Amino acid sequence: MAIENRRIGRVEGILEEVRARLNNLENRFDSLESLKKAPFLIPKSQVDIRFYLLLGAMVGVIISMWVTIILAIIFKG
């Protein structure tokens, strides 16, 4: 009887652990579902990723160019 109670307790503990893990997976899945509702946050394809990389590089070049011009004007005068 005592051995059977320990086994039942162990099985119940394992079931609780499985239930907790399934709840964790369900929460993760729900967070992924919420990302589908905001498509503008995630690049859809490699083309989108490359576009954002190109856009970032262009902005970086423009900002560094303006900083160089402004510093040249300040230190020349």
Distance in angstroms (rounded) separating the CA atoms of residues 66 and 75: 14
- Total of domains in the chain: 2
- Does the pLDDT of residue 58 top 90, yes or no? yes
Q: 6 and 34 share a domain?
A: yes
Q: What is the pTM of this model?
A: 0.40
Distance in angstroms (rounded) separating the CA atoms of residues 51 and 45: 10
Distance in angstroms (rounded) separating the CA atoms of residues 27 and 72: 55
Q: 54 and 76 share a domain?
A: yes
Q: What is the mean pLDDT of residues 61-77?
A: 91
Q: 19 and 47 share a domain?
A: no
Question: Torsion angle of alpha carbons 66, 71, 76, 77, nearest 10°?
Answer: 100
Structural domain of residue 54, as residue ranges?
43-77
Model confidence at 40, in pLDDT bands (50, 70, 90)? low
Q: 31 and 60 share a domain?
A: no
Q: 34 and 48 share a domain?
A: no
Residue pair 35/41 in contact by the 8 Å Cβ criterion: yes
Distance in angstroms (rounded) separating the CA atoms of residues 38 and 28: 16
Q: 25 and 49 share a domain?
A: no
Q: 29 and 57 share a domain?
A: no
pLDDT attached to residue 77:
63
Which carries the bigger pLDDT value, residue 53 or residue 3?
Answer: 53
